[in-house]
């Protein structure tokens, strides 16, 4: 059973609890700067987007790492960092198209989501369901259902506008 962390930005309220939980879990401090998840906010539009590592199948951060410190764990479907090999060159930060790899200035090391080794704490504490850790197949079915509902609603409005 393969699981993945799913983000539904439409449900995110921007409370940033996920950032705090992540920092406490990994670093033992309540400091969002040290979290592996970050909320990007467009407050004027009311949009909050949790940004996390997407655990890419063909991860650019892995391919640019000159010391092979970043590897992919196929069993857990996640990208790992071997801190004994990492030289802190920050190439992975530049390569990530999602901006999900960061640098912890306090620990002087690269950080990114590690799915809390199969039990992402951010998903456990997300009260709105913006973050969920689900089976990959369940995620796809949920997205299909949501897309079908949006399509149905659009068609209903379109039909009502031209028949009403």
Give pTM, 2 decimals.
0.79
Q: Is residue 83 part of a domain?
A: yes
- In this prediction, residue 140 has a pLDDT band, given cuts at 50, 70 and 90, of low
Q: Is residue 62 part of a domain?
A: yes
Q: Is residue 128 part of a domain?
A: yes
Domain range holding 22?
Answer: 3-133
pLDDT, one tens digit per residue, over 26-61 is 999 999 999 999 999 988 888 899 999 999 999 999
Q: Is residue 144 part of a domain?
A: no
Give CA torsion, residues 111, 95, 2, 50, to 10 deg.
Answer: 60
For residue 110, the domain's CATH number is 3.30.70.20
Closest CA to 49 of 14, 91, 19: 14
For residues 91-108, average pLDDT = 94
Q: Is residue 33 part of a domain?
A: yes
Q: Is residue 68 part of a domain?
A: yes
Q: Is residue 159 part of a domain?
A: no
Q: Structural domain tally of the chain?
A: 1
- In this prediction, residue 149 has a pLDDT band, given cuts at 50, 70 and 90, of confident
Enumerate the H helices of the chain as residue ranges.
17-27, 60-64, 91-95, 121-125, 136-163
Q: Is residue 146 part of a domain?
A: no
């Amino acid at each position: 059973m393969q699981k993945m962390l799913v983000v539904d930005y439409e449900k995110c309220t921007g409370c940033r609890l996920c950032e705090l939980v992540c920092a406490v879990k990994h670093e033992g401090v309540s400091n969002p700067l040290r979290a592996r998840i970050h909320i990007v906010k467009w407050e004027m539009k009311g949009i909050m987007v949790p940004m996390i590592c997407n655990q890419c199948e063909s991860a650019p951060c892995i391919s640019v790492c000159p010391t092979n410190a970043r590897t992919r764990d196929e069993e857990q479907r996640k990208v790992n960092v071997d801190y004994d090999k990492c030289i802190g060159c920050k190439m992975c930060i530049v390569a990530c198209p999602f901006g999900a790899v960061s640098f912890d200035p306090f620990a002087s090391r690269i950080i990114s989501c590690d799915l809390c080794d199969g039990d992402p704490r951010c998903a456990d504490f997300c009260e709105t369901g913006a973050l969920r850790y689900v089976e990959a197949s369940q995620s796809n079915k949920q997205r299909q259902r949501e897309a079908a509902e949006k399509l149905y609603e659009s068609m209903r409005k379109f039909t009502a506008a031209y028949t009403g």
